[in-house]
Structure 1
């Protein structure tokens, strides 16, 4: 069997020749029932009998890697898929630059590698938990199917990390894999590792913003790990990126369709009056801006502190590179390079130069911000086309920060440092208020007739996998 095709005759579908390692196969088969129990408890609410039009990976060849068909989600074939091995691959950065990429875990980097894999692995089930009630208020069958596709793929990404833990980290790895099923998003006693993954995703506008902004963080973290000198991690994350692209599409197109519906109603009613638009049952643009501010600021905290000795260690050790590391034109060791980070100085934000190795979280955050802004530009084209003089924008990167040097500083979306009093006076203009959230929640009602959409969102331009928009993407049994 080539490394490209996937063996579906096995209990755990895989392209890593699992059957040749009986001990590993048994350990993973022992973990599998716990995963299915977790899915039963924490996966999409009330969905067990639905037939869902899902794509399933059948190969890791980019030309034809997935097939589509109706599947019951608990029967979805989660498995372990790695990109093919690249012969002669080297470590491309840090102090091991130029050495052969590692096929086994180097002893001195074991703890750090495990931590990286566990942190990535923990985000995958967390987002399923955050989204588990959304199916009850889906605005259409098309959207319901997209939610379920995102959910099963997050489940598969958990498998990807669990395989690495089991295969390369012995007993420690098995214990960490079990713990991934024990933590719960937002749980007081056993929360998920990263803050953004303990936030609620209470409505579909939050879901679209989450899949646009927070899954994009996933893209950047996975791209940095796809550069890793530990070859199995690089090969795993490269294939995860193929699946991740759809999650960001769901977010970007979802917000785009909300905007489309809003501007259509604004033009029909010839008004930008928030009260009138809410009476007409659509989400006004200022509310969209506040949701954007919230999700953007929560996500950029996921990149970690502005200055981080861990980031320097991960890079120096060859464990985690920069975004598109090999396309960068420098020495890939960065011992003498510097980078600017922000600090507060005399009531203003000011830049300071720090060693680039310590600022690698900030480098990744800045790459992420550029990428995020391009999608916001596409949303603005929808508003522009409708002839409406309103533009969405990403807030300043120091706005609403909870992590790093800026966490104690109150900063307005435009980048001004403000007093606590000014913050409190304006916070409901900058972040979703309880009233905004209650209004958005009031719009959420399940639409299950094929081709019909909730009043607050426009239909997509095209269906999935060349199917019509009114296709029966989910069959309720």
Structure 2
């Protein structure tokens, strides 16, 4: 095997060319990664030239280059934010101590677990989305899908770098395992449940990138507080790219809603059957998709009470969202937090030690952030003069993890009987018929500037290019 030119093939700011041990480890891993991409990356895309953004530095003024590239030739780089001189650990039992530049022995297993779990989500989403290019609603959207895919791949590289650099043989084995698990595989699935769900259509993709990539934002923000400085610096740069993924989701759903509202006003009807007959997605179906993706995503934050979350915080491994802006003592040993419980068939709140409730703290921060985008979608509907509002369901709705797992709760927060759930679940979650209808709309549109009937064009193109720019060259 020929040697890899790291300055050419892997943009980085971690001095790869000076670390022979790390270089050899990555030389061994890279061909396996490329084989994984060949097997599980976007289907049928290997010869396309795609107008992609490639990270080349951490300079806020010029961290990326745009240009055409074949995705198997994409330069998956490794970047850490610049070190912060004299950085201290600012929460937990090590508050005020110098941030760690090497892995503390007593925290080795937990740090590795955190990095592996985060790393596992990155290839999982590529696997979930690998067939979507075959049904893209436009070249613009196809390019955005591919941009999300290559950046998820780069985020995998970011985590694998940490595993190889700091965890020796264990890290190398974990890095190999990241390429062996498969989303939805019965025998060797991905670690987290939401990353084993299918992403069968573009409405699901937009909901996923809005809701589930937003979970990624909050998890990365919590890890960016870590006392393990290389992890904090790595995740801070990953957040730069994650913002585009959430934009794809929010704008994508917004464009679906825009087109639906246009058709509703043209036909002067809010009858879902008539709206569907016109070839667009009715608003109640959009609500059911929203309910599903929101509820599956908030389970990603874990159980509402977790000794692991307490350990990660007290150990200085994983902080809270915007830890530095909080005004408490950043140790939390005497603090409490309100979580939900079910007593006599009703949802009630109870106080629990905050250290054990940190998953719930992060989940509540996430929910507040998610509501903002849904309100922006509602403004599109209001502007069209249509009396309909999308709502974020109650956080106890359709939960599978923690105290609320298995309890039947309606989207408006009522505990309901099994009978009522079974009677009304078709109003609340996508049905097989909903999914079949949405799938029936998924015809491929690839002529520049053309869009499928069910989605409105974007307001502007990528990187100041026109909307009808040739974002993908099919060879």
What TM-score, normalized to structure 1? 0.98
**1:3 equivalent in structure 2:** none
1:365 to 2:363 alignment: yes
Question: How many pairs align?
Answer: 471
- Residue 337 (structure 2) aligned to one of 336, 339, 343: 339
**1:348 equivalent in structure 2:** 346
- Secondary structure class of the residue paired with 2:309: helix
- Could you tell me whether the CA contact under 8 Å between 1:12 and 1:29 is conserved in 2? no
Equivalent-residue separation in structure 2 for 1:265 and 1:319 (angstroms): 51
User: How far apart are 1:380 and its partner, in Å?
Assistant: 0.2
- Secondary structure class of the residue paired with 2:53: strand
- Residue 190 (structure 2) aligned to one of 192, 213, 222: 192
- Residue 19 (structure 2) aligned to one of 11, 18, 21: 21
User: How far apart are 1:64 and its partner, in Å?
Assistant: 1.3
Alignment of 1:27-106 (within 5 A): 27-106=25-104
User: How far apart are 1:10 and its partner, in Å?
Assistant: 4.1
- Secondary structure class of the residue paired with 2:333: coil
- Secondary structure class of the residue paired with 1:306: coil
Equivalent-residue separation in structure 2 for 1:374 and 1:32 (angstroms): 40
Equivalent-residue separation in structure 2 for 1:453 and 1:10 (angstroms): 37
Alignment of 1:228-243 (within 5 A): 228-243=226-241
1:456 to 2:464 alignment: no
Equivalent-residue separation in structure 2 for 1:115 and 1:437 (angstroms): 35
1:253-291 superposed Cα distances (whole Å, 9 cap, x missing partner): 000000000000000000001111111000000000000
User: How far apart are 1:12 and its partner, in Å?
Assistant: 2.9
**2:373 equivalent in structure 1:** 375
- Secondary structure class of the residue paired with 2:361: helix
**Distance change (3 Å), C-alpha of 1:269 and 1:8:** farther
- Secondary structure class of the residue paired with 1:208: helix
- Secondary structure class of the residue paired with 1:9: helix
Equivalent-residue separation in structure 1 for 2:235 and 2:200 (angstroms): 29
1:319-377 superposed Cα distances (whole Å, 9 cap, x missing partner): 00000001101100001000000000011000000000000000000000000000000
- Could you tell me whether the CA contact under 8 Å between 1:93 and 1:318 is conserved in 2? yes
- Residue 277 (structure 2) aligned to one of 276, 279, 289: 279
Equivalent-residue separation in structure 2 for 1:247 and 1:20 (angstroms): 33
- Could you tell me whether the CA contact under 8 Å between 2:12 and 2:56 is conserved in 1? no
What TM-score, normalized to structure 2? 0.99
Alignment of 1:212-291 (within 5 A): 212-291=210-289
Equivalent-residue separation in structure 2 for 1:8 and 1:40 (angstroms): 21
**2:209 equivalent in structure 1:** 211
Q: Which has the higher mean CA deviation after the structures are superposed, 20-29 or 218-227?
A: 20-29
- Secondary structure class of the residue paired with 2:463: coil
- Could you tell me whether the CA contact under 8 Å between 1:118 and 1:161 is conserved in 2? yes
RMSD: 0.7
1:42-67 superposed Cα distances (whole Å, 9 cap, x missing partner): 00000000000000112101111111
Equivalent-residue separation in structure 2 for 1:8 and 1:265 (angstroms): 52
1:123-167 superposed Cα distances (whole Å, 9 cap, x missing partner): 000000000000000000000000000000000000000000000
Equivalent-residue separation in structure 1 for 2:132 and 2:438 (angstroms): 13
Equivalent-residue separation in structure 1 for 2:306 and 2:7 (angstroms): 45
Alignment of 1:396-415 (within 5 A): 396-415=394-413
**1:417 equivalent in structure 2:** 415
- Secondary structure class of the residue paired with 1:465: helix
User: How far apart are 1:18 and its partner, in Å?
Assistant: 1.0
- Secondary structure class of the residue paired with 2:7: coil
**2:168 equivalent in structure 1:** 170
**1:4 equivalent in structure 2:** none
User: How far apart are 1:9 and its partner, in Å?
Assistant: 2.6
Equivalent-residue separation in structure 2 for 1:8 and 1:206 (angstroms): 37
Equivalent-residue separation in structure 1 for 2:13 and 2:357 (angstroms): 37
User: How far apart are 1:408 and its partner, in Å?
Assistant: 2.2
- Could you tell me whether the CA contact under 8 Å between 2:52 and 2:68 is conserved in 1? yes
User: How far apart are 1:8 and its partner, in Å?
Assistant: 6.3
**2:389 equivalent in structure 1:** 391
Equivalent-residue separation in structure 1 for 2:469 and 2:105 (angstroms): 53
User: How far apart are 1:79 and its partner, in Å?
Assistant: 1.6
**2:468 equivalent in structure 1:** 470
Unaligned stretches of 5+ residues in structure 2: none
Equivalent-residue separation in structure 1 for 2:67 and 2:16 (angstroms): 26
Equivalent-residue separation in structure 1 for 2:303 and 2:24 (angstroms): 40
**1:300 equivalent in structure 2:** 298
Equivalent-residue separation in structure 1 for 2:63 and 2:54 (angstroms): 8
Equivalent-residue separation in structure 1 for 2:431 and 2:201 (angstroms): 14
**1:117 equivalent in structure 2:** 115
